[in-house]
A = this chain, B = another copy of it.
Amino acid sequence: MTLAQVAELAGVSLMTASYTYNRPSRVSDEARSKVLTAAVQLGYGGPDASARSLRRGSTRALGVVMGEHLSYAFEDPQAASFLAGIADVCADAGYCMTILPITGASDDAARIPSAAVDGFIVWTTSDDDPILQAIQAMKRPAVVHGGPAIPGLGLVGIDNRAAAHAVGAVAFAGAERPAVVSFPLSRARIGTIMHGADARDVLFPVTRERLEGYRQAAEEIDIAWHRVPIGVCAHNDAAEAERITATLLSLPEPPDAIAAMSDEQAAGVVRAAVAAGRAIPDDLAITGWDDAATASHLGLTTVAQSLREQGAACARVALGEAPNPPAAPWSVVRRGSTRH
């Protein structure tokens, strides 16, 4: 069913029918109603979106790349806030949000150009992610959240190093054996325990910057970074953080302060601490990140940032509505999980 057929049945020209949908005030009431009547008779569902996009040169959709598998977008609670921020802006602009089918397979990058979108938003990924080059090659507006910074693409996020330094200082205050529960270091996503000195070649820029901030905080209380144990989690997941914390707490010299990288992880740290009979914060100080609902329920000291607002900022840049914004605001929220 095409617009031409509708126009024919209505007894008007193709253009009159087209204007009926796109600039209704451009046609007389009479012609408009003839067209709409014909459309109903024929069961015409409106102008074809692909043809319209082709002709107009705009798809009215924003592409979103989340992590290494499409479903990741709906598994990480932080990602949900971010997506909600994008959604707010897209809804106002009448844009669709198109989540690209990333699977972790080698042909992912090839799927980038085949997406019908006007711009791209990429959730923080590793320095070596080939998707970044594919997007760069598309020469469309694109923004990366968190990093890495790519020439020609926007960048939205907070100063993770500074924030980690600040919250790390609170986490480690009065501690003798600080530790870190970390996001993965590279796409290999190996869950293990390392020490500061081993944590080289961190390919996720957000993880790298936060580790640098924690390192600075540790060194400021005269703790050698190479002795700080780092529980590396493969995913942002409370259960995994709980397991790795249990391991950390059973070390010969168990930590008395743990800085995590999300409230989700921190919740797992808290559970492991309780299970091990540790008092919080006296036996173990704990910090999270993001100031999610969990953080206030558990009384976690954390880094507050608005992923929702950052998502919205990404969308505005990708839509061309705004220039790349300055680094997003953050603050340390002190609660009962740290010593004062």
Which residues in A have some Cβ–Cβ distance to B below 8 Å?
A: 43, 45-54, 59-61, 63, 69-71, 73-75, 80-81, 83-85, 87-88, 90-103, 110-111, 113-117, 137-139
Q: Are A99 and B87 in contact (CB under 8 A)?
A: yes
C-alpha gap A59/B59 in the complex (Å):
12
**A117-B46 Cα distance, complex, nearest whole Å:** 13
Report A338 CB to chain B, min CB distance, Å: 24
A111 to chain B, nearest CB (A): 6
How far, in Å, is A289 (CB) from chain B's closest CB?
A: 19
Q: Is the CB of B116 within 8 A of A49?
A: yes
With A50-B54, A54-B48 as given contacts, are A101 and B111 in contact (CB-CB < 8 Å)? no
B97-A60 in contact (CB<8A): no
Q: Is the CB of B115 within 8 A of A49?
A: yes
Contact A80 B74 (CB under 8 A): yes
**Of B51, B94, B101, which one neighbours A91 at CB under 8 angstroms?**
B101
**Shortest Cβ distance from A48 into B: residue:** B54
Q: A59-B50, A98-B96 are in contact. Are A70 and B87 (CB under 8 A)?
A: yes
**A137→B43 contact, CB < 8 A:** yes
- A54 CB contact (under 8 Å) in B54, B100, B113, B117: B54
